[in-house]
């Protein structure tokens, strides 16, 4: 059995990965002592305030020497970290784990850009693999394995479990078209050095939705911004557009239809029984979020809304309990 005083270091930055790991922390306090390392004013920093877990927080500067000094003080037994596209500060934590012969686990919070989260298209991207890569359901594990990621496992998605439970108690209005934004140009520029790498950006996507909005027969369009996106992008196109300030679950509960590219929120909305559309206006980019084919389109003009499939069953595929994983690898 793992020791009672097990020390677990977490690094997180982007909102999705942070939410995944912070809910794992809250559900696993009995496993050991956690310390969450994050940069000041990062999405993780703000989420820790919202979730009231700042007593486990350690603010870091984004440089290797500083991070190593903080980890030396904590003396972790294992290192967990999220992956993302904005920066790769997590590599410092991986380096520390390797230097000190500690097990390392990278967490994937989405079904997209599996290889890019480890530095692809750099030639040596596979050198950034940790000991384990934690996926969150059978779809993400299969996708990660198919793209060459090694030692994939599935650890319970405590964040999804919490959202599914909370949603049951919300009042549903179901009259809006909820658009889940994505800073497409930024992602393409950061990853491939070309903001038009996929042949479209967030402005093109939004304009197409506005062009065919009557098809959706919704009372209004609401834009839910990605944490790295900006409202001015959409206000410049439609000054009267509604930018959401609600919680994620509130936005989903008020939506008649949810549309986006391939954000993980599309999968969440689908599991919650919503009509969901993955709209990818270019063949240069694949569909990754696990949705029925009838819910995917590259062309809104010819898209048949009546063919959208709605989820009718509960998803119990939440993965291995974290405590069991710790017991299996640390004994």
Residue 276 dihedral angles phi and psi, to the nearest 5°? -125, 140
Q: Residue 232 — pLDDT band, cuts 50, 70, 90? A: very high
The answer, yes or no, to whether residue 2 has pLDDT greater than 50, is: no
pLDDT at 87: 78
pLDDT at 4: 53
The answer, yes or no, to whether residue 295 has pLDDT greater than 50, is: yes
pLDDT at 1: 46
The mean pLDDT of 20-38, rounded to a whole number, is 96
Q: Residue 317 — pLDDT band, cuts 50, 70, 90? A: low
pLDDT at 136: 85
What's the helix, strand, coil split of the chain in %, to 5? Answer: 40, 20, 45
Q: Comparing C-alpha atoms, which of 182, 177, 315, 166 is closest to residue 251?
A: 177
Q: Are 270 and 282 in contact (CB under 8 A)?
A: no
- Residue 3's CB is within 10 A of a number of other CB atoms, namely 10
The answer, yes or no, to whether residue 246 has pLDDT greater than 90, is: yes
The pair of structure tokens assigned to 281 is 């206006």
Residue, of 2 and 20, whose pLDDT is higher:
20
Domains along the chain?
7-155 (3.40.50.11930), 165-307 (3.40.50.2000)
Question: Rounded distance, CA 144 to CA 190, Å?
Answer: 21
Q: Tell me the whole-structure pTM to 2 decimals.
A: 0.86
163-198 tens-digit pLDDT: 999 998 898 888 999 999 999 999 899 888 999 999
Residue, of 235 and 110, whose pLDDT is higher:
235
User: What share of the chain in percent tops pLDDT 90?
Assistant: 79
The mean pLDDT of 199-217, rounded to a whole number, is 95
The pair of structure tokens assigned to 130 is 């940790």
The mean pLDDT of 51-72, rounded to a whole number, is 96
116-173 tens-digit pLDDT: 899 888 899 999 999 999 998 888 899 899 999 999 999 999 999 999 999 988 988 8
pLDDT at 318: 66
């Amino acid at each position: 059995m793992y020791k009672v005083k097990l020390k677990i270091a977490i690094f997180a930055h982007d909102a999705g990965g942070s939410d995944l790991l912070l809910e794992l922390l809250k559900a696993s306090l009995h496993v050991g002592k956690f310390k969450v390392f994050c940069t000041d004013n990062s999405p993780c920093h703000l989420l820790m305030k919202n979730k009231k877990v700042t007593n486990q927080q350690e603010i870091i500067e984004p440089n290797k020497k500083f991070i190593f000094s903080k980890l030396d003080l904590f003396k972790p037994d294992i290192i967990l970290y999220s992956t993302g596209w904005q920066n790769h500060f997590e590599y410092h934590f991986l380096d520390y784990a390797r230097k000190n012969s500690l097990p390392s686990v990278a967490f994937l919070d989405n079904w997209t850009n599996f290889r890019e989260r480890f530095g692809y298209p750099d030639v040596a991207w596979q050198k950034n693999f940790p000991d384990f890569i934690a996926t969150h359901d059978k779809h993400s594990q299969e996708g990660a394995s198919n793209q060459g990621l090694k030692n994939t496992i599935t650890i319970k998605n405590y964040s999804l479990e919490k959202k599914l439970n909370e949603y049951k108690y919300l009042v549903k209005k179901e009259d809006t078209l909820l658009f889940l934004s994505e800073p497409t140009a930024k992602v393409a520029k950061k990853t491939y050095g070309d903001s038009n790498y996929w042949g479209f950006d967030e402005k093109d996507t939004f304009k197409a939705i506005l062009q065919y909005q009557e098809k959706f027969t919704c009372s209004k369009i609401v834009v839910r911004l990605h944490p790295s996106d900006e409202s001015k992008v959409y206000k410049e196109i439609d000054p009267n557009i509604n930018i959401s300030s609600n919680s994620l679950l509130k936005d989903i509960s008020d939506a008649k239809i949810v549309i986006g590219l391939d954000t993980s929120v599309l999968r969440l909305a689908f599991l919650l029984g919503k009509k969901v559309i993955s709209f990818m206006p270019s063949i240069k980019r694949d569909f990754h979020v696990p949705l029925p084919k009838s819910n995917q389109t590259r062309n809104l003009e010819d898209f048949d809304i009546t063919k959208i499939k709605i989820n009718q069953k509960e998803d119990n595929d939440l993965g291995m309990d974290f405590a069991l994983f710790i017991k299996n690898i640390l004994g």
